[in-house]
Structure 1
């Protein structure tokens, strides 16, 4: 028995030494599910044992968290070179947001106390503007919304009774996830006061954010977790204002004759005969994850690999991933019939430009914003247009995947 234990201990020691040597040379190591690190961080020249890399952060936050009957805002700030500091401020009715961009853009956000679940079946407005997959690109989103008169130069709502639809993945990858969400939070209240609305449909990256998965976050956020002493899961928990707000959002809505969903409706979801209401009831339960960091949940209409936030077959063949070929026209027609709509608008898979597929039955809205191809979908009096960050309007054409 002692020999066996010695052999096991020797193997573990060799493995640890190997990781250490590789880490020291390559600046790599073992990263656990929430982004903590075992090994050597080349970015910050430090050895870590299940810690977050100490990435210098110029600016992040505010993360507004509840503490008993009061709230506080957590700001992260620094010079971008030395390790950052966390500043905690008591807040009451509003917060100031300072963007991590060249201008240091500032705006004030009035806070709310509660967040009702969104309506699911909405009459068609005269004007509807839809965007998808901005992924923390604050300046890109602002330029696109401003050019198309959704907001003004002061970052206030200027779309009147028009509606703005966000088709998921507004978070991850970019450096300004928090300011982007606070701006949308602010605009939502302003839109309602003007007779308009903002509809936020959650995508798979919102799931990752709320679940604590850091697979796609910008490196700066590891610095935030390090200096705040809080994980992503804690900063975006049900105890945070943005976390609570996001958890009130649906994963699928119907506006007029258009169904909006991030990924799509798969045969599995279609065969379940799920309704907008039943899917929303699942969303209301399934973004509260406790301490478990999940990947996919087999059989879930939301979290399965073919659930509504992950399904990609309306855009491409997924046979290489054992998820089937591109959806047939018959399937698309069945989806439209099941939800009593004329079309389905999706994000999730990059296209060269916003365009249509399946003879106009599927509208693809995900474009490569970070590469300078920033576009939105305009539905105006039931006519559909592609509009760009210069405010120019084009008829929809047959969509082409960005990478085939």
Structure 2
């Protein structure tokens, strides 16, 4: 059996204006000089160990550099309800973890859709709580959790679902929200102003479609409630004839592969309070949210609009949107994916097969990372070949922050990741007369704005 060490990911370096918290980042960067081997190679073992350790150190650096500071800082954030909820299915049991705002006894009641109680528990006085029970036969259950005075409700769906569709037709209004990065309040404000949710945060978008174009995770403080919100909204929209489509970005992949360098300390503190590693919070094998994320594709086609978190480079022309989804699902089901950061693991895998997965998840021309179209205005031929292959008229991507959602390449490409992060949402409306799409952007307040035009200077 041959050991294939997991090498440091070839992550494209770019200054996005958002970095892990100094000064601890600088201190650990200096420390990493002593940890880094002389050369990172595909055949060396040290690289995998270094990146796993270095990612953990940087994640700790983002936690403001000390347990007391982290604990004090976390208290400045909301933690109860879905802001602190974690649910896992471990073997034949469901394990629920939740937070309360004070040192009080916790309360959990679990009901079926018919209202039958399948589990009831009271936990000892503390701020973090845990309760486990046998997995019920029902496809969906509702959690009623918190303390005796404050009860939150969250539906959990246990039944396996068919693969999400990646080719959608007959859409007249398409909203695209890229790079939320844990900015919960900003996300809610924009969706309300766009008329997609009401004051109770329920779907009011009717038959409209909303795409969350990757990078829901990392950087921001409230990733966990962002994910629970979208988890619920997806089902509400579908019940109303609309759809919420989740597309994976590089930061979802990074967390699931144990690269935690950009995780906010509130999120790290939450996992630590539960005795979990942060990547375990979203473990695709056991975490309810982790499983839900791994159902998502990395490319989506809505009529003649091609969407991906990073740009779709010409390296992807061997795929269809369906075959890319299926390849992603197959790779994420492998033991290699789940133990990517485990430098003690042994895998019976040849170098060609291994490197194919490295390029798929970490390559700078993969759909998670490619920035060519956002960084250059000279790739017309490549973009046109991609649009022709996928039978599309417009390509929408996030990933690269730009000052205002904008059209480039004469409207054939839309850059949908605004600065500040999560500040705008894209709306594309089909023109019945011309058969084309008209674009505008919403912020949390005010009327819609026209799209910016052209690559940003500098």
Q: Taking structure 2 as the reference length, what is the TM-score of the superposition?
A: 0.70
Residues in 1 aligned to 2:387 and 2:28: alpha-carbon distance in whole angstroms? 50
**Cα pair 2:224 2:267 within 8 Å, conserved:** no
Counterpart of 2:371 in structure 1 is 312
The answer to whether 1:393 aligns with 2:448 is yes
Map 1:187-206; keep pairs closer than 5 Å. 187-206=233-252
Change (3 A) 1:328 1:347: same
- Stretches of structure 2 that go unaligned for 5 or more consecutive residues are 1-22, 33-51, 104-125, 343-353, 431-436
Residues in 2 aligned to 1:274 and 1:201: alpha-carbon distance in whole angstroms? 17
Change (3 A) 1:27 1:246: closer
Residues in 1 aligned to 2:275 and 2:355: alpha-carbon distance in whole angstroms? 30
Change (3 A) 1:242 1:26: closer
Runs of 4+ in structure 1 over 4 Å off: 25-31, 36-42, 53-56, 76-80, 296-299
Residues in 1 aligned to 2:101 and 2:55: alpha-carbon distance in whole angstroms? 24
**Cα pair 1:74 1:86 within 8 Å, conserved:** yes
- Matched position secondary structure for 2:262: coil
The answer to whether 1:68 aligns with 2:87 is no
The alpha carbon displacement at 1:94 in A equals: 2.1
Residues in 1 aligned to 2:242 and 2:383: alpha-carbon distance in whole angstroms? 30
Counterpart of 2:386 in structure 1 is 335
**Cα pair 1:169 1:206 within 8 Å, conserved:** yes
- Matched position secondary structure for 2:84: strand
Structure possessing the higher relative contact order (Cα contacts under 8 Å, 6 or more residues apart): 2
Residues in 2 aligned to 1:357 and 1:96: alpha-carbon distance in whole angstroms? 48
The Cα RMSD (Å) is 3.3
Write out per-residue CA displacement over residues 325-357 of structure 1, whole angstroms, 9 at most, x where no aligned residue: x65111111111000000100000011111100
Counterpart of 2:5 in structure 1 is none
The alpha carbon displacement at 1:36 in A equals: 5.1
Residues in 2 aligned to 1:255 and 1:39: alpha-carbon distance in whole angstroms? 40
Which stretch has the larger CA shift, 351-360 or 205-214? Answer: 205-214
Counterpart of 2:319 in structure 1 is 274
Residues in 1 aligned to 2:172 and 2:144: alpha-carbon distance in whole angstroms? 33
Map 1:172-321; keep pairs closer than 5 Å. 172-237=218-283, 238-270=285-317, 273-288=318-333, 289-293=337-341, 300-317=359-376
Residues in 2 aligned to 1:380 and 1:33: alpha-carbon distance in whole angstroms? 45
Residues in 1 aligned to 2:56 and 2:100: alpha-carbon distance in whole angstroms? 21
The alpha carbon displacement at 1:268 in A equals: 2.2
Counterpart of 1:374 in structure 2 is 423
Residues in 2 aligned to 1:154 and 1:241: alpha-carbon distance in whole angstroms? 24
The alpha carbon displacement at 1:222 in A equals: 2.9
The alpha carbon displacement at 1:261 in A equals: 0.4
The alpha carbon displacement at 1:307 in A equals: 0.4
Counterpart of 2:400 in structure 1 is 349
Map 1:34-45; keep pairs closer than 5 Å. 34-35=55-56, 43-44=65-66
Counterpart of 1:129 in structure 2 is 175
Counterpart of 2:154 in structure 1 is 109
The alpha carbon displacement at 1:394 in A equals: 2.5
1:384 to 403, 418, 439: 439
Residues in 1 aligned to 2:338 and 2:100: alpha-carbon distance in whole angstroms? 29
The alpha carbon displacement at 1:225 in A equals: 3.5
Map 1:23-172; keep pairs closer than 5 Å. 32-35=53-56, 43-44=65-66, 57-58=74-75, 59=79, 60-76=83-99, 85-90=127-132, 93-95=141-143, 108-113=153-158, 114-172=160-218
